[in-house]
A and B are shown apart, each in its own frame.
Chain A
């Protein structure tokens, strides 16, 4: 088969259009560079009525929003999921890792929770603090100016709190708490657990004339048609196109490998067009990989040459290693005082209005890293699953469970909005033995060798989850709520979700000053090829007890400034 090679030479090829790729598209195109963006899924614009799901009712879906066609339900805006037909991955040693991919312009930014937390000063130096793993080669001060710029460009609501490891930013005002959130605030404070307004990239106030302000439908997971939440398309790629950037979008195009010349320098990428199933090659001076931590590792490991025998950027042998996801576990409870609620619209923004950042000192605990708490509940829109278990909560109020007839109507109405939950999202310790690698004998439908995962939680994560369940009980007890289900024990790893389930995978191409112990330098530039950069979460040395997106955006911007400056200095040619 002949590879079709474009004659045009781009300045930069960006692989992936999520948070990191979108930011790179904006910054590099605004610097006047000629850009190609390659995305494995279709074009997507949240404003397009054809694909829009925002404001649709459950009965507009024949499955009433069930998750049989999209993993977070029919109306969620991620095309893909943990299983994509024709694009498998495998596991090693009976271990588990669930890999979520969203194949569309903007990637996972179209559906995510918009929780936009800066990493704090300690989050860059965990190795020194607890002796586990490495420090980042950069500090909060290096990233702070970029966090500031991201806040102003994209918009994030929150509040100034002067917390030591949860830095303040340029916040839009927060939405007022909902009823169950007031119950949480009261109960948490009683248990000496602090609560603050959450920090989400949703516009409670306009930040420019191109994007609307939030109209409180609570559906950010469906991607906002007036661009009042952050998605890579609406906030980065479309504005870059609008301001006249030279941007060529290649959608439905799956990158297989980065091509290098005999000196080891990258010259371009080979991708497969999913529509005609042919291979194409594009050439550029600079390659920016933003395909997601695991997809970027896969591309690098599949880019073997005489110079890069074990894959591009892999002279350290560390590409794919130190893969880690946030930890997660949850508990729900029934709040008797929330029975028989008055009905009103409390959709609010898409997600929680209040949260608890990590508040304890790990030196006094038997696990090294922290977690934050997310709160959920309310009078939410009915969807597939409502009414399951019918009136099971009757057992808490001494009434009969089960039955049939119109008493069920009364029960369903009585309990609507009376259940809430708390989830923890925590920091795991990066381990060399948690990794993805190329499965030597399996390809996907595009003929590309697939990833094979090996991942085990350590005692650190298990003890952290155990602790969080004790906290959940403390909070709900102080609320006078009835905990639902059983408290998980060691047999179920204290309720820890399988690795990959929180969809914060990072660390596969970690940054560092020593090329033997890291894949990129502190500018996310490959040690082994100076015209290849990585702007997804692969270069994260450690994933904090935060969400990764705001840091991906800030670091991508920082890397792009470096690329522009290096091109100007002709250090990259």
Chain B
């Protein structure tokens, strides 16, 4: 497994199902051609499919960069008693993809990682990922709170904000994150208004005049018929 392949499998194995496993089983066989990364179709046009394929098979971050991203992701969103961490939800793979998809992220993130290491070197004479947990948190504490950041650390704040945005968006659009958030939709159902206990909690109620204009879900399957004045008779 060459370097390119190993990063690919760290990043994209999860996206691509079996690829990571296959990649590992060929470790040492450097002549093996890189595996093509694919992604299950989600209703793409052929042009879009092609673009996705190209992006999926490019590697943007080097090993150090992606390792730094993974550490930051889990500082931003560690696991708790019910749900896994950002890396458990495969957020680094999402970050790798999105910087290729939205190229405006590339320079700020790459430069941001360098800034972070510079800062870390100054404080502790080692790169960020080699710092211990306390040291890492001491660094993050100085750049994680907008409007409290010292002027010369503003590039760090900007980078951390970018990383927090992408970590949260990556997590809350993952299967785990959606469950954590508690989103209940995206399936066939019959909307029949706000649950009674929610109305009560908010001190609201539907007024009768309005409800009279609303659908009676019991006869939604009856084909609509109107009288000449536009009154529904079914």
Q: Which of A74, A170, A205, A389 contacts B230 (CB 8 A)?
A: A170
Whether A451 sits at the interface, judged by CB under 8 Å, is no
Which of B108-116, B121-129, B161-169 lies at the binding interface?
Answer: B161-169
Whether A208 sits at the interface, judged by CB under 8 Å, is yes
Q: Are A416 and B181 in contact (CB under 8 A)?
A: yes
Q: Which of A69, A152, A174, A385 contacts B226 (CB 8 A)?
A: A152
Given that A62-B97, A66-B102 are known contacts, is A405 also in contact with B215, CB under 8 Å in the complex? no
Given that A69-B48, A197-B214 are known contacts, is A213 also in contact with B144, CB under 8 Å in the complex? no
Size of interface on A: residues with Cβ below 8 Å to B: 90
Q: Are B75 and A405 in contact (CB under 8 A)?
A: yes
Whether B140 sits at the interface, judged by CB under 8 Å, is yes
Query: With the chains together, A215 CA to B83 CA distance in Å?
Result: 31
Q: Are A216 and B191 in contact (CB under 8 A)?
A: yes
Whether A277 sits at the interface, judged by CB under 8 Å, is no
Q: Which of B106-164 contact A (CB under 8 A)?
A: 140, 144-148, 160-161, 164
Q: Chain B contact residues: over half helix, strand or loop, or mixed?
A: loop
Q: Which of B43, B76, B220, B231 contacts A404 (CB 8 A)?
A: B76
Whether B33 sits at the interface, judged by CB under 8 Å, is no
Q: Are B97 and A63 in contact (CB under 8 A)?
A: yes
Given that A405-B75, A408-B168 are known contacts, is A51 also in contact with B178, CB under 8 Å in the complex? no
Which of B1-9, B21-29, B61-69, B193-201 lies at the binding interface?
Answer: B193-201
Residues of A within 8 A of B75 (CB): 404-405
Q: Which of A63, A75, A207, A405 contacts B78 (CB 8 A)?
A: A405
Contact with A along B82-109 (1 / 0, CB 8 A): 0100000000001001100110000000
Given that A60-B40, A206-B223, A386-B173 are known contacts, is A408 also in contact with B77, CB under 8 Å in the complex? yes
Q: Are A343 and B183 in contact (CB under 8 A)?
A: yes
Query: With the chains together, A501 CA to B120 CA distance in Å?
Result: 46
Query: With the chains together, A463 CA to B99 CA distance in Å?
Result: 40
Q: Are A172 and B52 in contact (CB under 8 A)?
A: no
Residues of B within 8 A of A344 (CB): 184, 194-195, 198
Whether A193 sits at the interface, judged by CB under 8 Å, is no
Q: Are B52 and A62 in contact (CB under 8 A)?
A: yes
Q: Which of A61, A177, A206 contacts B206 (CB 8 A)?
A: A177
Q: Are B145 and A403 in contact (CB under 8 A)?
A: yes
State the Cβ distance, A249 to closest chain B Cβ, in Å.
Answer: 18
Tally inter-chain residue pairs, CB-CB below 8 A. Answer: 250
Query: With the chains together, A157 CA to B202 CA distance in Å?
Result: 27
**Interface size classification for chain B:** 35 or more
Which of A8-16, A345-353, A474-482 lies at the binding interface?
Answer: A345-353
Residues of B within 8 A of A343 (CB): 182-184
Query: With the chains together, A342 CA to B171 CA distance in Å?
Result: 21
Residues of B within 8 A of A345 (CB): 184-185, 187, 189, 191
Q: Are B78 and A57 in contact (CB under 8 A)?
A: no
Whether A55 sits at the interface, judged by CB under 8 Å, is yes
Chain B residue nearest to A378 (CB atoms) is: B185
Whether A52 sits at the interface, judged by CB under 8 Å, is yes
Q: Are A382 and B42 in contact (CB under 8 A)?
A: no
Whether B172 sits at the interface, judged by CB under 8 Å, is yes
Query: With the chains together, A69 CA to B192 CA distance in Å?
Result: 35
Residues of B within 8 A of A160 (CB): 230-231
Residues of B within 8 A of A207 (CB): 223-224
Which of A92-100, A178-186, A419-427 lies at the binding interface?
Answer: A178-186
Q: Are B181 and A179 in contact (CB under 8 A)?
A: no
Q: Are B220 and A213 in contact (CB under 8 A)?
A: yes
Query: With the chains together, A208 CA to B137 CA distance in Å?
Result: 63
Query: With the chains together, A129 CA to B44 CA distance in Å?
Result: 49
State the Cβ distance, A419 to closest chain B Cβ, in Å.
Answer: 14
Q: Are B213 and A402 in contact (CB under 8 A)?
A: no
Q: Are A62 and B15 in contact (CB under 8 A)?
A: yes
Whether A309 sits at the interface, judged by CB under 8 Å, is no
Query: With the chains together, A409 CA to B79 CA distance in Å?
Result: 10
Excluding A59-B174, A215-B188, 9 further A-B contacts by CB distance (< 8 Å) are A51-B43, A65-B173, A69-B48, A171-B230, A176-B214, A182-B202, A205-B232, A206-B222, A217-B188
Some 7 contacts from A to B, beta carbons below 8 A apart, are: A66-B101, A205-B222, A344-B194, A382-B181, A387-B165, A401-B147, A408-B77
Residues of chain A having any CB pair with chain B under 8 Å: 42, 50-53, 55-66, 68-70, 74-75, 79, 152, 155, 157, 159-160, 168-179, 182-183, 185-186, 197, 204-209, 213, 215-218, 337, 341-349, 379-390, 400-406, 408-409, 412-413, 416
